[in-house]
Amino acid sequence: MNRPSSPRRPSPASTAQAPQEVRIIGGQWKRTPLPVKNAPGLRPTPARVRETLFNWLGQDLSGWRCLDAFAGSGALGLEAASRGASEVTLVEQDPSLAKGLQAIVTRLKAEGSVRVERGDALAAMRQRQGAALDLVFLDPPFGDGGNEALFRSALQAARGAIGVNGLIYLEAPVVWTADALASLGLQVHRQGRAGQVAFHLLRTLAVD
């Protein structure tokens, strides 16, 4: 079985306490702070990575239907909503984090476009098989050694939830190879690395 390239141990900087807040960087809620709870495994996507991602996606996501499957701080899904996405679902299993996300959505008066769903990310994606979503965000807990089984399950579930032209954003501790992604029916559209984090924008594998 083809695997992602070998994981690296997190550096001391990457295992430090999470920042207490991050900020939305574009759109109608630009500069809005999002509190970050000190929760195990919570690792908000850095601003420079989000900026790169939304440069790839385009600044205007009007009409997009998105799912933030491991929402955490909500930074990815709320960034999409801030830039015009018409439907964003934030899925978070931790009850405290889910409650915090709902408070943010209420504060932003975003109930018309953003929904918080407390539950398992894999189950949420599997329930949406064939939903033809435009974008699924995947930023699962890294875990010791890369948590490859969770990542493979998440990618497989997300693949079934997006449309023909849909996209999957994946954040991981390793770079996923073309062969590993092809086995899941996916291919790289864009990718990059920031410190110990590899980030990928994926689409369905083209069929000849």
Q: Considering Cα of 78, then 55, then 124, then 196, what sign does the dihedral take?
A: negative
Which strand (E) or helix (H) includes residue 11?
A: none
What does CATH list as the number for 21-204? 3.40.50.150
Domain ranges of the chain: 21-204
Burial state string for 1-32 with b = 16 or more CB within 10 A and e = fewer than 16: eeebeebeebeeeeeeebeeebebbbbebeeb
Burial state string for 146-172 with b = 16 or more CB within 10 A and e = fewer than 16: bbbebbbbbbbbbbebbeeebbbbbbb
User: Model confidence over 62-92: pLDDT tens digits?
Assistant: 999 999 999 999 999 999 999 999 999 999 9
Smallest CA-to-CA distance from 3 within 151, 140, 123 is with 151
Check residue 144 and give its pLDDT.
59
Inter-residue contact 202 to 187 (CB < 8 Å) = yes
Measured CA to CA, the distance from residue 166 to residue 65 in angstroms comes to 10
Extract the residue ranges of the chain whose pLDDT is less than 70.
1-19, 39-41, 143-146, 207-208
Check residue 2 and give its pLDDT.
44
Check residue 168 and give its pLDDT.
98
Check residue 206 and give its pLDDT.
76
CA 32 to chain centre: 19
Number of H helices, E strands in the chain: 6, 9
By three-state DSSP, how is residue 94 classified? coil
By three-state DSSP, how is residue 176 classified? coil
Check residue 8 and give its pLDDT.
36
In Å, how far are 48, 131, 150 from 172, measured between CA atoms? 16, 25, 11
Which 8-state DSSP code applies to residue 84?
T
Check residue 10 and give its pLDDT.
38
